[in-house]
Amino acid sequence: MGESTDIRCVAVCHASKCRRRGAEDLAAQLDKEIMAHGLEGTVATRRGRCNGLCSRGPTMAVRPEGCVYARLNAEAIRRIVREHLAGGRPVRALIPKGKDSAPSEKKAKKQLKAARKAEKQARKAAKKAKKDSLPG
Protein backbone atom coordinates (compact mmCIF):
# COMPACT_ATOMS: atom_id res chain seq x y z
CA MET A 1 0.00 0.00 0.00
CA GLY A 2 1.24 3.50 -0.82
CA GLU A 3 2.06 6.12 1.73
CA SER A 4 -0.20 9.12 2.18
CA THR A 5 0.99 12.32 0.56
CA ASP A 6 -1.60 14.46 2.35
CA ILE A 7 0.83 15.56 5.08
CA ARG A 8 1.64 19.25 5.23
CA CYS A 9 4.77 20.51 6.92
CA VAL A 10 4.45 23.83 8.72
CA ALA A 11 7.69 25.51 9.77
CA VAL A 12 7.59 28.55 12.05
CA CYS A 13 10.78 30.57 11.65
CA HIS A 14 12.99 30.37 14.72
CA ALA A 15 15.75 32.69 13.55
CA SER A 16 16.69 35.38 16.06
CA LYS A 17 14.44 38.21 14.81
CA CYS A 18 11.35 36.01 14.60
CA ARG A 19 12.06 34.54 18.05
CA ARG A 20 12.33 38.04 19.51
CA ARG A 21 8.94 38.82 17.98
CA GLY A 22 7.23 35.86 19.64
CA ALA A 23 7.77 32.89 17.32
CA GLU A 24 8.04 30.45 20.26
CA ASP A 25 4.61 31.41 21.60
CA LEU A 26 3.10 31.34 18.11
CA ALA A 27 4.52 27.86 17.48
CA ALA A 28 2.94 26.64 20.71
CA GLN A 29 -0.38 28.21 19.71
CA LEU A 30 -0.09 26.61 16.26
CA ASP A 31 0.25 23.17 17.86
CA LYS A 32 -2.83 23.82 20.03
CA GLU A 33 -4.88 25.01 17.05
CA ILE A 34 -3.85 21.98 15.00
CA MET A 35 -4.97 19.69 17.82
CA ALA A 36 -8.22 21.63 18.26
CA HIS A 37 -9.04 21.10 14.58
CA GLY A 38 -8.05 17.40 14.67
CA LEU A 39 -5.22 17.84 12.17
CA GLU A 40 -2.47 15.97 14.06
CA GLY A 41 -2.20 13.21 11.43
CA THR A 42 -2.16 15.53 8.44
CA VAL A 43 -0.01 18.45 9.62
CA ALA A 44 3.55 18.20 10.94
CA THR A 45 5.09 21.22 12.65
CA ARG A 46 8.73 22.05 13.18
CA ARG A 47 11.12 24.87 13.92
CA GLY A 48 11.90 26.56 10.66
CA ARG A 49 14.83 28.35 9.17
CA CYS A 50 14.84 31.97 8.12
CA ASN A 51 12.42 32.69 5.27
CA GLY A 52 14.31 35.82 4.27
CA LEU A 53 11.54 38.13 5.46
CA CYS A 54 13.16 39.29 8.69
CA SER A 55 11.54 42.72 8.59
CA ARG A 56 8.13 41.04 8.30
CA GLY A 57 8.54 38.41 11.02
CA PRO A 58 7.51 36.24 12.60
CA THR A 59 7.05 34.10 9.52
CA MET A 60 5.86 30.59 8.75
CA ALA A 61 6.18 28.36 5.69
CA VAL A 62 3.61 25.74 4.65
CA ARG A 63 4.75 22.91 2.41
CA PRO A 64 4.10 21.42 -0.09
CA GLU A 65 2.14 24.51 -1.20
CA GLY A 66 5.13 26.80 -0.73
CA CYS A 67 3.15 29.51 1.05
CA VAL A 68 5.12 31.80 3.34
CA TYR A 69 3.07 33.80 5.83
CA ALA A 70 4.42 36.94 7.49
CA ARG A 71 3.63 39.33 10.32
CA LEU A 72 2.07 36.53 12.31
CA ASN A 73 0.08 37.04 15.47
CA ALA A 74 -2.42 34.94 17.43
CA GLU A 75 -5.36 35.78 15.16
CA ALA A 76 -3.30 35.06 12.03
CA ILE A 77 -2.41 31.60 13.38
CA ARG A 78 -6.08 30.84 14.08
CA ARG A 79 -7.06 32.02 10.61
CA ILE A 80 -4.31 30.05 8.83
CA VAL A 81 -5.23 26.84 10.64
CA ARG A 82 -8.96 27.33 10.03
CA GLU A 83 -8.82 28.48 6.40
CA HIS A 84 -5.63 26.93 4.99
CA LEU A 85 -4.72 23.84 6.99
CA ALA A 86 -8.30 22.72 7.71
CA GLY A 87 -10.10 24.39 4.80
CA GLY A 88 -7.52 24.01 2.03
CA ARG A 89 -7.51 27.68 1.00
CA PRO A 90 -4.31 29.73 1.53
CA VAL A 91 -4.92 33.03 3.30
CA ARG A 92 -3.77 35.46 0.58
CA ALA A 93 -4.05 38.49 2.89
CA LEU A 94 -1.25 37.10 5.08
CA ILE A 95 1.13 36.21 2.24
CA PRO A 96 3.53 39.13 1.74
CA LYS A 97 3.82 40.87 -1.58
CA GLY A 98 6.78 42.72 -3.04
CA LYS A 99 10.35 42.12 -4.08
CA ASP A 100 11.41 40.48 -0.81
CA SER A 101 8.29 38.35 -0.46
CA ALA A 102 9.84 35.07 -1.62
CA PRO A 103 13.04 33.38 -0.47
CA SER A 104 15.93 33.05 -2.90
CA GLU A 105 16.02 29.97 -5.12
CA LYS A 106 18.92 28.48 -3.14
CA LYS A 107 17.14 29.09 0.17
CA ALA A 108 13.88 27.72 -1.24
CA LYS A 109 15.65 24.50 -2.30
CA LYS A 110 17.10 24.08 1.21
CA GLN A 111 13.69 24.67 2.75
CA LEU A 112 12.05 22.20 0.40
CA LYS A 113 14.65 19.56 1.25
CA ALA A 114 14.07 20.14 4.98
CA ALA A 115 10.29 20.04 4.49
CA ARG A 116 10.52 16.76 2.57
CA LYS A 117 12.61 15.27 5.36
CA ALA A 118 10.06 16.43 7.96
CA GLU A 119 7.20 15.04 5.86
CA LYS A 120 8.96 11.68 5.58
CA GLN A 121 9.50 11.60 9.34
CA ALA A 122 5.85 12.53 9.95
CA ARG A 123 4.61 9.77 7.61
CA LYS A 124 6.90 7.27 9.32
CA ALA A 125 5.64 8.34 12.76
CA ALA A 126 2.00 8.16 11.62
CA LYS A 127 2.56 4.70 10.17
CA LYS A 128 4.21 3.54 13.40
CA ALA A 129 1.39 5.02 15.50
CA LYS A 130 -1.19 3.27 13.35
CA LYS A 131 0.69 -0.02 13.63
CA ASP A 132 1.01 0.37 17.41
CA SER A 133 -2.71 1.08 17.78
CA LEU A 134 -3.78 -2.12 16.03
CA PRO A 135 -4.88 -4.91 18.37
CA GLY A 136 -2.54 -7.78 18.98
Cα(106)–Cα(88) distance, rounded to whole angstroms? 27
Alpha carbons within 13 angstroms on the beta-carbon side of residue 43 total 26
Q: What is the mean pLDDT of the chain?
A: 84
Per-residue pLDDT at 123 exceeds 90:
no
Residue 72's contacts (CB-CB under 8 Å, 6 or more residues apart) are 12, 23, 26, 57, 58, 59, 60, 94
- Mean pLDDT, residues 39-60 taken together: 89
To 10 degrees, the CA torsion angle through 30, 78, 12, 128? 40
Residues 51-91: tens digit of each pLDDT:
888 888 899 999 888 889 999 999 999 999 999 999 999 99
**Burial of residue 129 (number of CB atoms within 10 Å: 0-12, 13-18, 19+):** exposed
pTM of the model: 0.68
Q: Fold for domain 8-129?
A: Glutaredoxin (3.40.30)
Q: Check whether 135 has a pLDDT greater than 80.
A: no
Which element (helix H / strand E) includes 61? strand 60-63
